[in-house]
Amino acid sequence: MIGTIITFVRDSTAARIVLAGLAALLVVALLVRWVDRAQDHAVEQAAEAGRADQRAGDLQETIHRIEEAQDARDEIRNSAGSARYDECVRSAGATAANCQRFLPR
């Protein structure tokens, strides 16, 4: 069976052309698959880099907000400013008279 096929290919120019075409098609298919995988890998690396940049930016924003919150807390604790009085008035509502003790001197 295989001997018959080999003899047929040796004797037939058309069979050689078909086999050469199939070999070329296989090489092209493998090349396309390789390029596709390389592109997918590049896209995944770019996405991971973007996620890392986003995380870094989010962490910077979190640190900035924490620093602002600490500054606001320190300002409220400082009895020389009116921030304690303002905070008391906001939280006391209708009984703002109770906050007179926090007015700056």
**Overall average pLDDT of the 91-103 stretch:** 77
Q: CA neighbours within 13 Å on the CB side: how many for 90?
A: 7
Contacts of 45 (CB under 8 A, 6+ apart): none
Cα distance between residue 75 and residue 72, in whole Å = 5
Contacts of 40 (CB under 8 A, 6+ apart): none
Q: Which pLDDT does position 80 carry in this prediction?
A: 63
Whether 15 has a pLDDT exceeding 80, the answer reads yes
Q: Which pLDDT does position 92 carry in this prediction?
A: 72
Q: Which pLDDT does position 56 carry in this prediction?
A: 95
- Joined together, the tokens standing for residue 8 give 């047929």
The per-residue pLDDT for range 17-59, each reduced to its tens digit, is 988 999 999 999 999 999 999 999 999 999 999 999 999 999 9
The pLDDT > 70 percentage for the chain reads: 94
Buried b (16+ CB within 10 A) or exposed e, 3-39: eeeeeeeeeeeeeeeeeeeeeeeeeeeeeeeeeeeee
Q: Which pLDDT does position 35 carry in this prediction?
A: 97
Q: Which pLDDT does position 79 carry in this prediction?
A: 60
What mean pLDDT, rounded, does the chain reach? Answer: 87
- Domain ranges, ordered by start, for the chain: 9-102
Q: Which pLDDT does position 69 carry in this prediction?
A: 92
